[in-house]
């Protein structure tokens, strides 16, 4: 399958909306930094960098994604030493791997907030298939799942909303449906569809439903 030729309007929409969202959530970012600072002072195992980064795949290309660090420093170091690679989803299942601030951020999906800067840079889009790590991307490609290679990865996606609202769990089919929509639709329709996904995602996050 060929990559989707995304209209310029979607990129402009990404820049404008990500900038506005950064401004909107700046008070929340300040609170997160304060909480992480307090943990740093009083809980030694929570100390470490503010951000966590790793290499992910977007439209078939590697890029460095950024998140708030939600894991305890020694947990990340132990996994890297033993396995040489961090599978964050596996670590997230055990709350004891998370800092106290990290538990809160994960519940409301706000550990992903720094990815707004990835969107501004052009590494990602606001809406698209969620980015995956290199090892998983290779496995998906070998299995004939190409969604991670056809369009820029998204901070938000239809799959996450379907999980909550409809119980659907076929991520590849859901992502391919969005990709096909982008392939066949004019720019204004893509923007309107993205806007609806963004609003629904923010509403879900504010209700702390998790995504």
Helix %, strand %, coil % of the chain (to 5): 60, 10, 25
Q: How far apart are the first and last CA of the chain?
A: 28
List residues bridging with 63 in a β-sheet: 56
- Whether the model pTM is above 0.85: yes
Instruction: Please give the angle made by the CA atoms of 206, 12 and 132, to the nearest 5 degrees.
Output: 60
Please give the mean pLDDT across all residues of the chain.
87
Contact 58, 123 (CB under 8 A): yes
CA distance 60 to 161: 24
| pLDDT tens sequence across 113-138 | 999 999 999 999 999 999 998 888 98
On whether the CB atoms of residues 133 and 56 are closer than 8 A, the answer is yes
The domain limits of the chain are: 8-206
pLDDT of res. 168: 47
**pLDDT tens sequence across 69-115:** 999 888 888 877 776 667 777 788 888 899 999 998 988 778 999 99
Alpha-carbon span 124 to 115, nearest angstrom: 8
């Amino acid at each position: 399958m060929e990559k989707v030729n995304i209209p310029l309007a979607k990129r402009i929409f990404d820049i404008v909306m990500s900038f506005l969202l950064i401004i909107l959530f700046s008070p929340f970012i300040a609170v997160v930094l304060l909480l992480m600072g307090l943990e740093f002072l009083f809980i030694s195992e929570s100390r470490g960098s503010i951000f966590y980064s790793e290499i992910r795949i977007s439209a078939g290309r590697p890029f460095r994604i950024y998140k708030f660090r939600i894991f305890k420093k020694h947990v990340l170091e132990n996994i890297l030493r033993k396995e040489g690679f961090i599978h964050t989803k596996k670590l997230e299942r055990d709350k004891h791997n998370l800092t106290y601030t990290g538990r809160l951020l994960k519940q409301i999906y706000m550990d992903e907030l720094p990815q707004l800067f990835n969107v501004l840079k052009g590494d990602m889009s606001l809406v698209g298939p969620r980015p995956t790590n290199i090892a998983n991307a290779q496995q998906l490609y070998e299995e004939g799942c190409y969604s991670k290679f056809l369009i820029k990865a998204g901070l938000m996606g239809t799959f996450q909303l379907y999980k909550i609202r409809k119980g659907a769990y076929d991520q590849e089919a859901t992502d391919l449906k969005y990709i096909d929509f982008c392939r066949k639709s004019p720019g204004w329709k893509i923007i309107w569809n993205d806007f609806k996904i963004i609003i629904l995602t923010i509403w879900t996050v504010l209700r702390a439903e998790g995504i």
